[in-house]
């Protein structure tokens, strides 16, 4: 056991230094942080003479008795490396466990498993690289015992991107984590001292950083798992004998801070003439990728955030200087306006289907649409699809549809089409005399029937009975009804029934009926 503890200690040191991993506790990480990828000539020569793992081996699989664990080989800085594997239980070699996978047994329950990969290359000293650790639960297997099945580790180290000069923006290229959903916190460090307020993913070295080494600590957190910290490589900020440049007036961001609108930044007033300005737009404290022009078009991603700009001035013989502008909090953009208005197609009649066309709404992303059909200006309950089937309830009323257009980051827009009346249903009127010949002392009986075909609408309303052109009497009929006519003089009468129609049905009239009235009783 002591042999592997000593070996692992050396292996970790070699692997960590070579790959840029922080093996020391957080308090020591700053003093032992690895060099940035911006290497000196001596460091490059050293890399060529030493075998170094650029990516450590990684254990994967469900930690539990009986579940196969897999080991991903390390990545070395040189080609042709021969790998030898040894699995460990609580730091002690497991006899015979020398392959790239291993199935924990009951002996492993409650222990912590790791693997050491020894890399060998002719002419160079062998180097050991140790994997992450996987605790094996005491009870159950395959996650059934409630043990820890995942641990958070760094698969790819973070690095710094930038020129490494006073006034020049530095950015952190985030690490790659072994699990998704990791939240990261940043802290920039200068010569081992945390820089006050420098807790974003970018940092611009100031004149006071000249001659110091800059790096950043990244802390990853994931609910239920231990916190993991890692560091970037160090970047030396060169001393400068140039005269510092200063601004007597800061830049100003102008414009309507709404999604879809443009913001512009004015140049600062520098203490020297002939200064060249470069720009970097910021969302809160983070640089916006690619936003390096003097103007910036606000997007839905900016909604609710503070947008500002950093202007860096450069001039030969002077130290670069960066000045921050004021910030503006971004509001919802104006509601989109239609370039072609919504319309309705279809025939406004019972049993027909109407279709709403949402139209088009200017430039930008296509909005999402919703619909609400209206009868006489009031919402029709449940009628929220793009199509609407006209029912008998709509007869004699008007129909329209309200289209709502929603574009992310903008106010909502609505448009209501014109009210169009629904056509009345055609009607039929039939009449039949119970007796075509009656004495003058009697009154004629007339059976009247109103219909609308197969529409399902039951007609009802006023009917007028005429004798030729003379109005005999008006009646109210619903569907069908037997009418008793007034007494008529002896002679031949021409009887016709006229239905006046209703709110939902059209008017109609019956055929002429011949009624003979004779004298006598």
Quote the number of domains for the chain: 5
Look at 168 and 256; give whichever has higher pLDDT: 256
- State which residues form the domain around 412: 343-421
- In this structure, are 299 and 274 located in the same domain? yes
> Do residues 463 and 474 lie in contact, with contact meaning Cβ atoms separated by under 8 Å?
yes
pLDDT at 26: 32
Please tell me the pTM assigned to this model: 0.49
335 domain residue, yes or no: no
Residues 447 and 113: their CA atoms lie apart, in Å, by 99
Residue 333 has pLDDT above 90, yes or no: yes
Position 142 confidence tier, pLDDT thresholds 50, 70, 90: very low
pLDDT of residue 241: 61
> Higher model confidence: residue 374 or residue 50?
374
Residue 338 domain flag: no
| Residues 503, 471 share a domain | yes
Residue 274, domain CATH: 2.60.40.2700
Give the pLDDT band (50/70/90) at residue 25.
very low
Residues 392 and 274 reside in one and the same domain? no
Q: Supply the pLDDT for residue 388.
A: 97
Helices (H) then strands (E): counts for the chain? 3, 49
Predicted confidence at residue 225, as pLDDT, reads: 81
Q: Is residue 84 located within the same domain as residue 204?
A: no
Residue 137 has pLDDT above 60, yes or no: yes
Of 329, 356, 380, the one marking the end of a domain is 329
pLDDT for position 521: 65
**Can you read off the two tokens belonging to residue 196?**
């006050």
pLDDT at residue 452, rounded to an integer? 87
| Among 201, 198, 126, 108, CA closest to 160 | 201
Predicted confidence at residue 271, as pLDDT, reads 85
The pLDDT value given to residue 141: 33
Note the pLDDT tens digit of each residue in 88-98.
Answer: 998 899 999 99
Quick one: average pLDDT of 299-314? Answer: 95
- Residues 127 and 197 reside in one and the same domain: no
| pLDDT value at residue 208 | 86
- Do 374 and 464 share a structural domain? no
Pick the more confident residue, 364 or 416.
Answer: 416
Q: Could you give the percent of the chain with pLDDT greater than 90?
A: 60
Kind plus residue range of the DSSP H or E element containing 101 = strand 101-102
How far from chain centre, in Å, is Cα 441? Answer: 87
The distance from CA 82 to its chain's CA centroid, rounded to whole angstroms, is 47
pLDDT value at 425 more than 90? no
334 within some domain: no
Mean pLDDT of 497-506: 90
How does pLDDT run across 214-255, given as a tens digit for each residue?
999 999 998 878 888 898 999 998 876 667 788 989 999 999
Is 336 part of any domain? no
Q: Say if residue 86 is in the same domain as residue 202.
A: no
Contact in structure between 165 and 238 (CB atoms under 8 Å): yes
Instruction: Please check whether residues 402 and 466 belong to one and the same domain.
Output: no
pLDDT at 148 over 90: no
Say if residue 308's pLDDT is above 50. yes
pLDDT at residue 8 is higher than 60: no
- Note whether 9 and 147 are same-domain residues: yes
pLDDT at 262 over 70: yes
Tokens of 423: 């056509």
* Inter-residue contact 361 to 338 (CB < 8 Å): yes
pLDDT of residue 22: 32
pLDDT score of 430: 95
What does the pLDDT average to over 362-376?
92
Residues 25 and 75 reside in one and the same domain: yes
- Predicted confidence at residue 29, as pLDDT, reads 33
Task: Give the pLDDT confidence score for residue 155 in this predicted structure.
Answer: 86
**CA–CA dist 332, 406 (Å, integer):** 12
Domain-embedded: residue 360: yes
Residue 183 lies in a domain: yes
Give one DSSP letter per residue of 324-356, joined into a string. E---EE-BPBPPP--SB--EEES--STT-EEEE
pLDDT of residue 277: 95
Is residue 450 assigned to a domain?
yes
121 shares its domain with 39: yes
Residue 119 phi, psi (nearest 5): -100, 135
Domain-terminating residue out of 151, 173, 200: 151
Regarding whether 321 and 276 lie in a shared domain, the answer is: yes
The pLDDT tens digits of the residues spanning 345-360 come to 999 988 889 999 999 9
Evaluate if residue 41 carries a pLDDT over 60: no
Q: Is 366 exposed, middle or buried (0-12, 13-18, 19+ CB in 10 A)?
A: exposed
Of 278, 306, 329, the residue that ends a domain is 329
């Amino acid at each position: 056991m002591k042999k592997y503890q000593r070996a692992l200690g050396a292996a970790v040191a070699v692997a960590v230094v070579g790959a840029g991993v922080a093996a020391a506790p957080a308090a020591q990480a700053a003093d032992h942080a690895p060099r940035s990828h911006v290497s000196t000539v001596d460091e490059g020569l050293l890399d060529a003479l030493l075998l170094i793992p650029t990516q450590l081996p990684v254990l994967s699989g469900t930690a539990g008795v009986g579940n196969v664990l897999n080991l991903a080989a390390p990545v070395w800085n040189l080609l042709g490396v021969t790998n030898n594997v040894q699995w460990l239980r609580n730091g002690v070699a497991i006899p015979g466990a020398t392959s790239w996978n291993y199935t924990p047994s009951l002996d492993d329950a409650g222990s912590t498993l790791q693997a050491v990969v020894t890399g060998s290359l002719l002419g160079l000293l062998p180097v050991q690289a140790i994997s992450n650790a996987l605790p094996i639960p005491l009870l159950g297997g395959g996650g059934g015992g409630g043990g820890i099945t995942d641990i958070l580790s760094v698969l790819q180290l973070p690095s710094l991107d930038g020129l490494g000069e006073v006034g020049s923006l530095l950015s952190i290229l985030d690490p790659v984590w072994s699990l998704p959903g990791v939240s990261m916190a940043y802290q920039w460090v200068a010569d081992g001292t945390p820089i006050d307020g420098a807790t974003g993913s970018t940092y611009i070295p100031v004149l006071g950083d000249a001659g110091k080494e800059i790096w950043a600590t990244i802390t990853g957190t994931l609910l239920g798992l231990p916190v993991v910290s890692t560091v970037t490589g160090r970047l030396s900020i060169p001393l400068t004998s140039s005269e510092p440049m200063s601004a007597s007036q800061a830049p100003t961001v102008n414009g309507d801070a709404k999604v879809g609108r443009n913001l512009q930044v004015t140049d600062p007033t520098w203490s020297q003439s002939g200064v060249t300005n470069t720009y970097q737009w910021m969302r809160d404290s983070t640089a916006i990728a690619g936003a390096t022009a003097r103007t910036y078009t606000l997007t839905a991603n900016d909604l609710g955030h503070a947008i500002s700009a950093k202007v860096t001035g450069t001039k030969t013989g002077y130290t670069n200087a960066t000045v921050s502008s004021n910030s503006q909090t971004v509001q919802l953009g104006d509601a989109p306006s239609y370039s072609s208005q919504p319309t309705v197609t279809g025939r406004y009649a019972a049993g027909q289907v109407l279709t709403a066309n949402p139209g088009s709404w200017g430039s930008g992303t296509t909005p999402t649409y919703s619909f609400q059909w209206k009868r006489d200006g009031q919402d029709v309950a449940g009628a929220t699809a793009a199509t609407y089937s006209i029912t008998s309830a709509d007869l004699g009323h008007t129909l329209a549809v309200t289209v709502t257009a929603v574009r992310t980051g903008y106010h909502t827009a609505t448009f209501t089409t014109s009210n169009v009346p629904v056509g009345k249903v055609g009607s039929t009127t039939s009449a039949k005399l119970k007796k075509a010949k009656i004495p003058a002392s009697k009154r004629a009986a007339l059976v009247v029937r109103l219909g609308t075909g197969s529409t399902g609408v039951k007609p009802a309303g006023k009917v007028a009975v005429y004798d030729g052109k003379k109005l005999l009497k008006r009646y109210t009929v619903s569907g069908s009804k037997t009418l008793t006519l007034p007494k008529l003089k002896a002679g031949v009468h021409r009887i016709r029934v006229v239905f006046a129609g209703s709110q939902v049905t059209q008017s109609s009239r019956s055929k002429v009926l011949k009624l003979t009235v004779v004298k006598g009783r």
